[in-house]
Structure formats: C-alpha cells, structure tokens
Structure 1
Amino acid sequence: MTDATLPPTSRRGNVRIAAILAAVAVFMVGMAFAAVPLYDLFCRVTGYNGTTQVADSNPKGTIARQMTVAFDSNVDSALAWRVQPSRPVTDSIGAVTTVVYTATNLSDHPITGSAIFNVVPETAGIYFNKIECFCFTEQTLAAGETVEMPVTFFVDPDLAENRDLDTVRQITLSYTFYASSEGT
C-alpha cells in the first residue's frame, strides 16, 4: 500500500508520528547545545568536579580553623610556556588571600594561552571562592615575556559545618594551561 491508498485515519497517524519524531529530533539537538551551559551551571551551584565559586568579598569573616591551600600548574605540550605556581599558604578559613602564578613564554614569538582549573578534594570546590582570577581569560605573552597572574580567594567558613570535610587540612587549586584555539 502506498500513502495515497491508505485510509485517511492511517495517513493522519503517519503525519502525527512524523511530527512527533521531528519534535523529538529538534528537542535532542536543542539539548545537545544546552548540555554544556547546563552542566556548567550545575557544577557552579553544587561545586561538583571541583568547580569553585565566584565572590566579590567574604562577608562571613574568618574562623579559628586553619587550612593550607596548595597550588599546582600543568602546561599542555602545545603551549611553550613555563608556569610557576605560588607556594602553599596556610591561614584561617575565611581569610582573603592573594597569590601569584608566574608565566613565561619560552618561544621566540608571541603565544596566546588560557587556563582551566579545578580544586581537590572535589567536595571542597563549593567552599573555594575566587574574587580575582586569570582563568578562562586568553593571555598573549610576547617572546620571552614573563607575567604575574594573581588569584585572590578565600575558603568559605561554612566548610566547617560540613562534617564530611572535618579531616581536610589542605585544598589544592590546580590550573592547566592550553594554547589558544586561535594559535599563536
């Protein structure tokens, strides 16, 4: 039977099924485009996967518990930079601290790069607040140029209320530097 020989109710059924399948396809394409921003939002809200929070200041003050924050840097082999992280700092939870990463372009031409970050342990990410950060900002370094890249942060005093983090004495902020998609 061809579509022309089908009874009108069967043709309407076929059109309805085709419309539903087209709507499902459009929905799936839309979800594919929305997945990255929705996942990013989820990570920022929950601190999942070591995602940090963004703040303007620390209105909660400090608490007596001390926390060491260590710093790490990794550079992708496609980026001819050397990045030196700050030394670890130990301070009261809630203290606003600024540290500096130092990046040097090891090549004889300008190179643009950027960094992504994570926090370990991942469960502490929701309590790690960055006030100033160079992350996700493309930076171009001239041949042989060295720059200081500050990070201002604090650990939210609410961390002390999370009993799962009672034994945590150190948080590591790690940056991975990549060559920009624009190249050099």
Structure 2
Amino acid sequence: MNSSAINNKNNRVGLIAFLGALAMLGMGYAAVPLYQLFCQVTGFGGTTQRASAEEASLAERAAASAGGKQISIRFDGNIASDVPWTFKPELATDTIRIGVRDIAFYTARNNSNVPITGTATFNVEPEQTGKYFNKIQCFCFTEQTLQPGEEVRMPVLYFVDPAILADENAKDVEQITLSYTFHKAIDPAS
C-alpha cells in the first residue's frame, strides 16, 4: 500500500472516530430530557402524571366503576440543605375515593432575611402507582419565590386514576406517598 492510500485510510478512521465521539456527546446531552420524557410517559420512578380538568372529569365519571373504593394518601415535605425554609404538608395523610378530585395543602415559610426562589421536585411511592397519580394543579409546576419571613399555602389538586384497580401490580396498594423536596432554583444569570 502506498502512503497516499494509508493517509486516506487514516483520515477515514479519524473522521469515523470524530463522528462517533460527536454522536456520544449528543446522546449525553439528550439523555436527561429523554429520560424525563420516558418517566413522564410511563410513571417510572414514581413520576406522577399531569392531567387537565377535563381528564379529571372523565376520571370522576369512571370512579363509579371503582365502587367507591378508597385509598390513603400520605404527604411528605422536605427541603434541600441550602434552602432556609420550613416546608410541610398541612395534613400527614388523607383518605380519598379513587377517581375523585381532592386537594392537599403544603405550607412553606422563608426563614431567611433575603428572598429565596425554590423549585419542587416530587415523586410517588410505591413506584408502580406513579402513572395513576394525576396532578391537575400543583405548586411544583412553577418556581416559588418567598420574601423574607413570608409564609404561603400551596395547593395540589389531584386524583388517583381508577385504572389503578385493573393493574395487577398496583390494585392492592393501600397507601400512596406523595413526596416533595424544595431546592434553590437555578439562577439563569449565574
């Protein structure tokens, strides 16, 4: 093989390696949004579903097929170590009818002397119930800014889809835990 053929072969291998590295970098950036999409669609990892008021009305009509079956909902509130807030549910547990909308309230208080903007992450346990736990309205959908010493009540409007009763892995669950953790919001200016 002459040196020109070897150079062409080396250039081709180098180009393929470069394109492979570029593809891996792109997949690294796409991994987080793709994983979030996967979790939202499947309820994997306790990710709840987001529902419209119309979907909630349909679930309430389907609730008749649930025969008035009830389920206990446990509420949990946490804060990251860098958030100087007090954050907790107003009720530790509530018993609701499957398919019927209910509302829960959390309270948050900024214990610092500066405004703090936080964002809540959430999950549902046991994991297999995440795809049936639907939130219509939630403080977790947007960032929350609390002024120094400010205390607020934050609602969560939700329902448990009656389809949970047809799922062999979830139909016998007696209690679902809805847990939130507040983190400082990432400042886009920094």
**Do the structures match in fold with TM over 0.5?**
yes
Matched, 1:68 2:67: no
CA distance in 1, matches of 2:34, 2:90: 32
Structure 1 residue runs of 5 or longer lacking an equivalent are: none
The amino acid across from 2:130 in the alignment is G
1:36 alignment counterpart? 32
Matched, 1:125 2:130: yes
Distance in 2 (CA, whole Å) between partners of 1:86 and 1:48 is: 27
- TM-score, structure 1 as length reference: 0.91
Contact 2:114 2:148 in 1 (8 A): yes
- Cα distance in structure 2, aligned partners of 1:38 and 1:86: 34
Pick aligned residue for 1:10 from 6, 9, 21: 6
Give the AA of the match of 2:47.
T
Q: What is the aligned length? A: 179
SS at match of 1:164: coil
Aligned pairs for 1:74-85 (under 5 A) are 74-85=78-89
> 1:22 deviation in Å?
1.0
Question: Do residues 103 (structure 1) and 102 (structure 2) align?
Answer: no
Does structure 2 conserve the Cα–Cα contact (< 8 Å) formed by 1:116 and 1:136?
no
SS in 1 for 2:169: helix
Residues 133 and 151, structure 1, Cα contact 8 Å, conserved in 2? yes
CA contact (8 A) 2:59 2:100 kept: no
Q: Deviation of residue 137 (structure 1)? A: 2.1
* Aligned equivalent of 1:92: 97
Q: TM-score, normalised by structure 2?
A: 0.89
Q: 2:131 is paired with a residue of what secondary structure?
A: helix
Decide whether the 8 Å contact of 1:102 with 1:149 is kept in 2: yes
**Pairing 1:47–2:43 present:** yes
Structure 2 counterpart of 1:160, from 162, 165, 169: 165
The alignment status of 1:145 with 2:150, answered yes or no, reads: yes
Distance 2:4 2:23 in 1: 28
- Which of the pair is proportionally richer in helix? 2
Per the TM alignment, residue 12 of structure 1 is displaced from its structure 2 partner at its CA by 1.8
SS at match of 1:131: strand
When the two chains are superposed, the root-mean-square deviation of aligned CA atoms in Å is 1.6
What is the DSSP-based 3-state SS (H/G/I as helix, E as strand, rest coil) of the residue aligned with 2:139?
Answer: coil
Cα deviation, residue 43, structure 1: 0.4
In structure 2, the gaps of 5 or more residues are none
Counterparts of 2:8 and 2:69 in 1: how far apart (Å)? 70
Q: CA deviation at 1:86?
A: 3.2
Question: The residue matched to 2:140 in structure 1 has which SS?
Answer: coil
Q: Say which one has the larger Rg.
A: 1
Cα deviation for residue 166 of structure 1 reads 2.8
Structure 1 match to 2:175: 170
Deviation at 1:165, TM superposition (A): 1.6
Distance change >3 Å, CA 12–CA 162, structure 1 → 2: same
Identity of counterpart residues, as a percentage? 46
Give a deviation string over 1:24-64, Cα, whole Å, max 9, x none. Answer: 01101100110000000110111111001111032132122
